[in-house]
Amino acid sequence: MALQAKNQAGRKTIAILGAGINGAALARELLISGVSVAVIDAADIAAGATAWSTRLVHGGLRYLEYGEVELVRESLVERDRLVRLAPHLVRPLEFYLPVRTRLGGMAAAAARLLGCESLARAWQGTRGRGSWTVGMGLRLYDQLPGGSGWPRHRMVRASAGGMPAVDSTAFPLAGLYWDAQLLYPERFTVELLVDARRAAAETGAEFRVFTHHRCRLDGDGMLLVEPVAGDARGAAVRIEPAAVVNATGAWVDRTLAEALPKVLSGRLIGGTKGSHLLVRSAPLRAALGDRGIYAEAADGRPVFVLPFGDRLVLVGTTDLPFSGDPDDARTDEAEIDYLLGAVAGILPTVAASRDDVVQHYCGVRPLPFVSREGGTPASITRRHMLVRHADALPPCWSIVGGKLTTCRSLAETAAAELLGRLGIEVGGSSRDRPMPGWSAGLPAVEAAAREQAVAAGLPEDVAARLARHAVGLYGARAVDVCAAIRSAVRSPPGMDSGGLSHAGQALISDVEVPKSAVAWSVREEWATRLEDVVERRLMLVFDERLSRRSLEDIAAVLVGEGVLEKERAAAEVETVAARLRQRYGKTLEGTSA
């Protein structure tokens, strides 16, 4: 029966607009059922909110106060599942939640639970939630996923040994609990699509990914897919979709208006913008150790202070109404002051200064549109919805809201709804399907990747660092990526991505990343632009050593791979250097400010 469904499904293509985490998860889910899929993104894989998030896979403790118990349960179950299925990317992280009082916040929490947000704010006071309120929330948090085997929470005194250096006079007590960190949701999204391609190979369905392409549904129900300006790769394509899913996040309303003009809909999205800072401060980083801090800023908003690799600290986030083009959202100085002020309030002895902020980023949450009377941005639900545009032809749906954490469960429910409406049997599920980089033994993978790098002629210490980084990006696939260094070094000049003659030249200048990984991004992971490689494949955007020379080296490989014209390489380097400055406040060495 399932095979019949697959064959039946194979003839139909579902077009998914948007290759964020939700569009990618849905593509994978449909391909597991043997349905052909075309994913079209106006920019790149994970180029929207997915990349601008706090990078947590979490239940969302504070949503309990808003009575979102089912959302928290679903998120916690998914958190446990993603840690199991993608251990290289989703890693458990212990959180320290400082509190000022024992009894504070109970009346406000009760008001919030009853839906009286304005009363809750009036009763909130400046002392925040007390240890009783926090303890109750954490007890529920422990129980909701149901026998997950994760360590239970503990309430501790701030003066106990080994705790982060919070102001223990202001915050004498704290809750300790576990959630998970997804350092690179960009990589997770790419892997979802890599797995979607594997699922397509298994089921015989067709799978196409168009990045840097725009599309528009015409009156005959055909989708015209065209490369955006400046794309070197070819011609427009026409697809006859069996259904269209608008998974464009904060752009959902714009997409309806511009790409799906025949689909009638009221306003669906009411986004808020959120900014994050990356701070380089050795005392602050040391104060965190292996824990993240989840605290309240002076105005009661949640603030996360998180370890980001060995040297950096990620601080976020703000939550401000935003109605412009999500692509124009930028961190402003007031947000930087606000976030630094919040850190100073929690950790005064290791407070960071403006000079410690090495970069920042900002994005728009794709929240459902609601009238804000009496509410705050924080009170808008983080639940996801699948909106069916009832009269549309071909059938059309929009995804509204959601979290990184629930991308898989959202995809599962959305696939069931879509396939049900199209009369196609669900042929499988991602519930227990490991991600492509999954491994039960990541230390062994790291050792094997290091061996490959050493065999390619790299010094032991460089090979060790490179292997560790590669496992954080690729998991089990790190061995193949590192093996590719060797073949690139051995290939005769003219046959590889730059005619490498010895191992030293195998690395991109100033960063310890092999040039062969750039070629891998193009051949295996749909990268076509310098920006794709830097920001969403090799994650070099977060490498402080990234320089103009690094960009030039990457551009040279892209030329070798045939996705960048040689004459345009220098201009592409300029464009990306300017983008890093404007979008991230990051100035590269050798670039005027």
Q: Is 550 in the site for ligand FAD (CB under 6 A)?
A: no
Q: How far is the CB of 200 from ligand FAD (least distance, A)?
A: 20
Q: Is 30 in the site for ligand FAD (CB under 6 A)?
A: no
Q: Are 285 and 292 in contact (CB under 8 A)?
A: no
- Residues 346-375 within binding reach of ligand FAD (CB under 6 A): 363-366
Q: How far is the CB of 60 from ligand FAD (least distance, A)?
A: 8
In the complex with ligand FAD, the residue whose CB is nearer, 486 or 536, is 536
- C-alpha to C-alpha distance for 427 and 204, rounded to whole angstroms: 13
How many residues interact with ligand FAD (rule CB under 6 A)? 39
Q: Are 15 and 223 in contact (CB under 8 A)?
A: yes
Q: Is 52 in the site for ligand FAD (CB under 6 A)?
A: yes
How, if at all, do strands 36-41 and 13-17 pair? Answer: parallel
In the complex with ligand FAD, the residue whose CB is nearer, 53 or 439, is 53
- The 266-305 contact track toward ligand FAD, x by CB under 6 A, reads --------x-------------------------------
In the complex with ligand FAD, the residue whose CB is nearer, 62 or 129, is 62
How, if at all, do strands 312-316 and 272-280 pair? Answer: antiparallel
Q: Is 99 in the site for ligand FAD (CB under 6 A)?
A: no
Residue position matching structure tokens 């998120």: 75
- The 528-547 contact track toward ligand FAD, x by CB under 6 A, reads --------------------
Q: Are 591 and 548 in contact (CB under 8 A)?
A: yes
Beta-bridge partners for 362: 275
Choose one: 51-59, 421-429, 464-472, 530-538; the region binding ligand FAD (CB under 6 A): 51-59
Choose one: 34-42, 116-124, 513-521, 567-575; the region binding ligand FAD (CB under 6 A): 34-42
Q: Are 22 and 383 in contact (CB under 8 A)?
A: no
| Torsion 219-220-223-225 (CA) sign | negative
**Phi first, then psi: what are they for 362, rounded to 5°?**
-150, 140
Task: Please name the amino acid found at residue 506.
Answer: A
DSSP character string of 245-262? EE--GGGHHHHHHHT-TT
Which letter does DSSP use for residue 368 in this model? Answer: B
Q: How far is the CB of 236 from ligand FAD (least distance, A)?
A: 14
Q: How far is the CB of 85 from ligand FAD (least distance, A)?
A: 16
In the complex with ligand FAD, the residue whose CB is nearer, 52 or 308, is 52
Q: Is 190 in the site for ligand FAD (CB under 6 A)?
A: no
SS3 289: coil
Length of the chain: 593
Buried-state track 180-198, b at ≥16 Cβ within 10 A, e below 16 = bbbbbbbbbbbbbbbbbbb
Q: How far is the CB of 165 from ligand FAD (least distance, A)?
A: 24
| Six token digits for residue 495 | 């046959």
Q: Is 402 in the site for ligand FAD (CB under 6 A)?
A: yes
Q: Is 150 in the site for ligand FAD (CB under 6 A)?
A: no
Name every residue whose Cβ is closer than 8 Å to that of residue 359 and which is 6 or more positions away in sequence: 277, 278, 541, 542, 584, 585, 586
Q: Is 50 in the site for ligand FAD (CB under 6 A)?
A: yes
Choose one: 13-21, 142-150, 156-164, 527-535; the region binding ligand FAD (CB under 6 A): 13-21
- Residues 222-251 within binding reach of ligand FAD (CB under 6 A): 247-251
In the complex with ligand FAD, the residue whose CB is nearer, 325 or 574, is 325
Q: How far is the CB of 312 from ligand FAD (least distance, A)?
A: 17
Q: How far is the CB of 239 from ligand FAD (least distance, A)?
A: 13
Q: How far is the CB of 402 from ligand FAD (least distance, A)?
A: 5
In the complex with ligand FAD, the residue whose CB is nearer, 346 or 399, is 399
Omega before residue 318 within 30° of 0, cis:
no
Q: Is 430 in the site for ligand FAD (CB under 6 A)?
A: no
Q: Is 335 in the site for ligand FAD (CB under 6 A)?
A: no
Q: Is 81 in the site for ligand FAD (CB under 6 A)?
A: no
In the complex with ligand FAD, the residue whose CB is nearer, 209 or 478, is 209
Q: Give the strands of the sheet with 223-227, arranged side by side.
A: 213-217, 223-227, 237-239
Q: Are 269 and 250 in contact (CB under 8 A)?
A: yes
DSSP character string of 420-472? HHHT------STT---TT--S-HHHHHHHHHHHHHHTT--HHHHHHHHHHHHH
Q: How far is the CB of 405 from ligand FAD (least distance, A)?
A: 4
Choose one: 36-44, 411-419, 421-429, 492-500; the region binding ligand FAD (CB under 6 A): 36-44
| Six token digits for residue 520 | 């891998």
In the complex with ligand FAD, the residue whose CB is nearer, 19 or 414, is 19
| Torsion 438-442-444-447 (CA) sign | positive
- The 301-330 contact track toward ligand FAD, x by CB under 6 A, reads ----------------x-------------
In the complex with ligand FAD, the residue whose CB is nearer, 257 or 578, is 257
Give the HSE-up count for residue 590: Cα atoms under 13 Å, Cβ half-sphere. Answer: 12
CA–CA distances in Å: residue 387 to residues 47, 263, 395, 452, 538: 23, 12, 11, 49, 35
Per CB under 6 A, residues contacting ligand FAD are: 17-23, 40-43, 47-50, 52-56, 214, 247-251, 255, 259, 274, 317, 363-366, 399, 402-405
